[in-house]
Structure 1
Amino acid sequence: MSGPVATTDASPTIADCGHPSAPCVEVSDSRDERVGKIRVRRALPRKGRRMVGAWCFADHMGPADVTENSGLDVGPHPHIGLQTVTWLIDGEVLHRDSLGSEQVIKPGQLNLMTSGGAVSHAEEATGHYRGTLEGIQLWVALPEATRHGDGAFEHHVDLPRAEIDAAVATVLVGDFGELVSPARHDTPLVGVDLDMHGPTLVPLNPEWEYALVVLEGRIGIDGRPLPPGKLGYLGRGRSELLLDVAAPARVMLLGGEPFEEPITMWWNFVARNRAEIDSAYASWSAQDERFGRVRSSLPLIPAKAPFWQQDQGVW
């Protein structure tokens, strides 16, 4: 359940995104999209808010009904310069990639794929699960030090959890108080699933920026409601945040040190300039050896030429 990112979501460069040093509450709309056969709400990137720390993409998928042989059905597609972080709150998905990984993910488990310079993968029905599918897929932009490295895949069954007031916090990636996820992260950041049943005081790092994506229910921030389909950006400068909850809610907290490296995003690629994207697009279109092969029965997802190539008549 990956991308693609286009100019409908945000401009290809990071210029339209600032990192306020003071606390704020910016509420923006997600965009409805379909990825494979599943409806998603895209909270990042959006015009005016490209990133939160190194988090550069957030798709809330479902809830949707799936069968043993028909689920996400996202065929093989490529990535560069990012990590995919997949988290389910209901259902099962089969991940396959060009590294040879084949892994079913279930609720409470984490799939993390690092693309490095090039990887491809597919997300499929499991062949045995029938029911509801819901979750979130996130992308993390890789820093210069690791973005050209080798691809890698991790599956984590046991993640750190703790009760915080009226919530159970599960740390997907990064550090949250004394909880430390075993998942790889290449920049200072955190992703936390909050299963909430009442008002909760959440600890934060005042040097980091944060945002919230509500998956189920509704919460309040400084008197402002935040339902599903919205991104609540919080800026920096808070050491804690009170989340108001009148009924059970499921919330994703994303945070991190502001990512200062300029990036260019297009389709399923996170790069630094158009030339890098042109190269990745050419390799995928030619089906050369750069992105390897995925052992999947689903058809390859073709790449549409970047808009700057279309403008120049290269299409």
Structure 2
Amino acid sequence: MRIRRILPVRQRRMIGPWCFLDRYGPLSFTHEKPMDVAPHPHIGLQTVSWLLSGEIIHHDSLGTEALLRPGQLGVMTAGRGIAHTEETPVENTGRLNGVQLWVALPDAHRNGPPAFGHHPTPPVLEEPGVLVHVILGDWMGRHSDGAAYSPMVGAELTVHPGLSTALPLRPEYEHALVVLSGDAAFEGQSLQPDTLYYLGAHRGEMQLSTRAGAQVLLIGGAPFGETILMWWNFVARSQEEIAAARADWEQHVRFEDVRAYHGARLRAPQLIGRPITR
């Protein structure tokens, strides 16, 4: 399955607390199993799963099983350590299209207990020309049920064909847009799909328009006031933390097994060089 890495990129490492964005699909299949991510560990972050079509089944070392469908939020808080898997279920629609994002946990919460939340009905609101799903955080008076530990917003915007819409932004946040499908323009500038468009901060409004209709992902938040290090599946503050997490995974310490998965777990890569610093 082809993955497009949209964040981090050379020009931009974070958008508020958002530190990672992978895009996959749209994909059609018959007997294949396009998603089969074996057990792997996380620390210091939240994973946010959002589907446009298809299904994913999540299992983790807490014993959680959750079947995610389009428009449903899956948010896993790794805290001090969790392992999980993501798979295409046996019974499926033969389609897969979605995003996975990571949120860096602030220092006060990054060593807390792991948790998983499955939220089948995130808030939805209708504004002139657009349908909004509030994925995480809050926007325009609607609050997601997903656990949020920093001021942030994540939302899917479905802009109706042939229309233009003006939407409010929090000036104290920095924001970015990604076109997921269709055609969209921001204040008259045409946007390419699967490309991160950084809007910066100090904006109180944005204008979106489309000819044939579009789905657009909005992410934003207060600038993250902490320096993070990212390596493999870990978000930490020091190389020593990352080395310790890697050693614990390889030695079967800290991270419990994902018992629902039938197969070997992922091995950690060699720790060579320096992790990516924001």
Sort the TM-score into its range (normalised by shorter chain): over 0.9
Range 226-235 or range 66-75, more displaced: 66-75
- Structure 2 CA distance for aligned equivalents of residues 63 and 266 of structure 1: 28
Q: 2:237 aligns with which of 251, 272, 294?
A: 272
Counterpart AA for 1:235:
G
Q: How does 1:8-157 map to 2 (within 5 A)?
A: 38-67=1-30, 70-157=33-120
Residues of 1 paired with 2:199 and 2:218: CA distance? 10
Query: Is 1:291 paired with 2:255?
Result: yes
Amino acid at match of 2:117: E
Q: Which runs of 5+ in 1 are unaligned?
A: 1-37, 310-315
Q: CA deviation at 1:127?
A: 1.3
Residue from 164, 168, 181 that aligns with 1:216: 181
Counterpart in the other structure of 1:24? none
Aligned residues: 271
Displacement, 1:148? 0.3
Q: Which residue is 2:127 aligned to?
A: 164
Change (3 A) 1:190 1:170: same
Cross-structure match for 2:247: 282
* SS of equivalent residue, structure 2 residue 208: strand
203, 210, 215: which one pairs with 1:238?
203
Q: Give the 3-state SS of the residue equivalent to 2:249 in structure 1.
A: helix
Secondary structure at the counterpart of residue 2 of structure 2: strand
Q: Secondary structure at the match of 1:230?
A: coil
Q: Is the 8 A contact 1:68 1:130 kept in 2?
A: no
Equivalent residue for 1:205?
A: 170
Moved more, 249-258 or 126-135: 126-135
CA deviation map 1:80-132 (0-9, x unaligned): 00000000010001000001101110011110000001001000121111311
- For 1:290, give the aligned amino acid: R
Q: Distance between the aligned counterparts of 2:225 and 2:238, measured in 1?
A: 15
Q: Which residue of structure 2 aligns with residue 256 of structure 1? A: 221
SS at match of 1:301: coil
Between 1:185-194 and 1:296-305, the stretch displaced more is 296-305
Distance 1:97 1:68, change over 3 A: farther
**CA distance in 1: counterparts of 2:267 and 2:182, whole angstroms:** 36
**Aligned partners of 2:219 and 2:179: how far apart in 1?**
11
Q: Kindly state the Cα deviation for residue 229 of structure 1 after the two structures are TM-superposed.
A: 2.2
CA contact (8 A) 1:67 1:129 kept: no
Rounded Cα–Cα distance in structure 2 between residues aligned with 1:226 and 1:306? 37
Is the contact made by 1:199 and 1:246 (CA closer than 8 Å) also made in structure 2? no
CA–CA separation in structure 2 for the residues paired with 1:203 and 1:68 = 44
SS in 2 for 1:307: coil
Q: CA deviation at 1:73?
A: 0.5
CA contact (8 A) 1:73 1:298 kept: no
Tell me how far 1:175 sits from its aligned partner: 0.8
**1:71 positional shift:** 2.9
Deviation string 1:121-177 (CA, Å, 9 cap, x unpaired) is 000121111311001100000000000010000000111111122110010111101
Identity across matched positions, percent: 46
- TM-score (normalised: structure 1): 0.83
Asked if 1 retains the 8 angstrom alpha-carbon contact of 2:159 and 2:209, the reply is: no
Q: 1:66 to 1:291 in 2, by over 3 A?
A: farther
